[in-house]
Amino acid sequence: MNVMMLLEMANSAFPDRIAFTNGASGETLSYSQLFSRVGERARKIRASDSNRFVKLDVSSLSTPLSLFASGWAGIPYVPLNYRLTDEEIMRLIERVKPATLVTSDDRIDSFQNLEGLEVLDSSDLLAHSGEDESLENDWGMDPEEIAVLLFTSGTTGEPKAAMLRHKHLVSYILGSVEFASADEKEASLVCVPPYHIAGIAAILSSVYSGRHVVQLPNFSAEEWISLVRKHQVTNAMVVPTMLKRIVECLEETGATNAEMPHLASLAYGGGKMPLPVIEKAMCLFPDTDFSNAYGLTETSSTISVLGPDDHREAVASSDELFRRRLVSVGRALPGVEIQIRDEEGEEVASNTRGEIYVRGEQVSGEYEGRGSVVDSDGWFPTRDAGSLDEDGFLFLEGRADDVIIRGGENLSPGEIEDVLMTHEAVNDVAVIGIADEQWGESVAAVIVLKSNFQVSEEDLQSFVRERMRSSRVPEKIEFWQDLPYNETGKLLRRVVREKLG
């Protein structure tokens, strides 16, 4: 079992199809061009002393090349977050040496002349000797070999290195993608960063389905819209903050229709989608199928999906049970099981909040140097809080650690945020717990107002009081210009907490 097998199959089924296009530069690679360059690079990696192949750069054609060449050579691929400082990156590199580091030319000098580190320029990676030696398919098939090491953005301490073995990634692809299911005209626009699990999953599933990938290295709504139109993109995946920007950008031009008739499917995930954003998006893209995906690095990407039919059913329904599913992350993929458990580890009844546990072939739950956090029955504790409704639709309610405990009562920030978001003046909101002498913790809210709207603290408090139990009413409300998000659209509650003091 090796991710290379997926590329080998694509290469033998449709060698001349365009596999990847760099949307910024316009460069392309067909499956056969990719395959031969991967083989050439794998031989060079094997001839080196490197135990890891590290990539520190935005998406480009060298991204899929690095992923597959590492698999072929038999060493882990380690894509790093290029937004980290050189100092933070250096600490991660220390943990993966001896390694080859591939980075952009402006960063090469920062990492030159380090013991155990061979540094390459990203653009040199694409250079091809042209000598088409016959390529032996000589990668290992040990399913336990590590395909990818991904540093997770830990909120405390040093980042953890999640280990994804070939068996996890290949199981995910075989369980969710039909081989060669895309026709030649289909194109997928990938704008998630290459060091994010969704970026890795996008490469693997597009290759296996035979779908052309158009890469957008640095996201902007304008560029996204332009590339969708230019390449007649049929599939795209965005995080909620990106969809929000795209909707705003279209609205600024006065558009009532996005006019992207080729866009058959738009998937989103990676964070909580505000209801007004998805509702507006569905109006602007009336012919597009929307899917909401939920997954984690440790689960090799998606574990549950709210599909297009679920979206339409929810929007068309007057029944609150169906309507609220628009903000759920859908149901577990085939081969994946999801449970909600309480603090004692007991499974809870439907519609009860608890911690999300997941089990399946694609679930790794293992960290380098820390071992596995999967229990003896194969269940992985996600540390995400959520609930399942009577039909198995999963609702996310923030991180398990984000719960506010006020006078012994557990409050979900997400519930309060959902209510505040329905106020006409509120553009964005973060609810967190702050230390309180009387209650242990109390509820605080940070509000970003829509432009040209004003509302008082008291008005917002009574707005919540009319809709929820009084314990949920924020005792402190601040108005900010914006909220801190990471690049994949996750609200940085820790930063909000620090800034609130």
Partner 1 sequence: MPTLKTGARLKSAVCDGEIMVVAAPSDDVNLTCGGEPMIDAASGESGGGDIHPDHAVGIAMGKRYINEAETLEVLCVKAGDGGLAVDGALLLQKDTKKLPKTD
Residues that bind partner 1 in the complex, under the rule CB under 8 A? 1, 5, 8-9, 12-13, 141-143, 166-167, 170, 174, 176-180, 188, 198, 201-202, 205, 209, 235, 237, 265, 267, 269, 289, 291, 293, 301-302, 305, 307-308, 333-334
Distances (CA, A) of 426 to 282, 286, 330, 412, 446: 21, 26, 27, 19, 10
Closest separation in Å from C-beta 73 to partner 1: 16
Element (H, E) at 487: none
Closer CB to partner 1, 73 or 237, in the complex: 237
DSSP 8-state assignment for residue 327: G
Task: Give CA 339 to chain center in angstroms.
Answer: 21
HEC-encoded secondary structure of 372-411: ECCCCCCCEEEEEEEEECCCCCEEEEEEHHHCEEECCEEE
Distances (CA, A) of 126 to 24, 36, 214: 16, 11, 17
Closest separation in Å from C-beta 387 to partner 1: 21
Closest separation in Å from C-beta 76 to partner 1: 17
Closer CB to partner 1, 311 or 423, in the complex: 311
Closer CB to partner 1, 269 or 413, in the complex: 269
CA angle 379, 203, 10 (to 5 degrees): 110
Closer CB to partner 1, 474 or 489, in the complex: 489
Closest separation in Å from C-beta 139 to partner 1: 10
Residues 6+ apart with CB under 8 A from 125: 41, 62, 65, 66, 102
Closest separation in Å from C-beta 9 to partner 1: 6
Closer CB to partner 1, 161 or 332, in the complex: 332
Element (H, E) at 243: helix 240-252
Residues 6+ apart with CB under 8 A from 34: 7, 11, 19, 20, 61, 64, 65, 68
Closer CB to partner 1, 36 or 188, in the complex: 188
Closer CB to partner 1, 1 or 284, in the complex: 1
- Relative to beta strand 440-449, strand 426-436 is antiparallel
Lay out the sheet containing 187-190: strands in order across: 28-30, 18-22, 212-215, 187-190, 235-238, 265-269, 289-296, 301-306, 331-332
Closest separation in Å from C-beta 330 to partner 1: 9
Closest separation in Å from C-beta 203 to partner 1: 9
Query: Quick check: 412 and 398 in contact, CB under 8 A?
Result: yes
Query: Quick check: 62 and 48 in contact, CB under 8 A?
Result: no
Closest separation in Å from C-beta 166 to partner 1: 7
Closer CB to partner 1, 131 or 178, in the complex: 178
CA-atom Rg of the chain in angstroms:
23
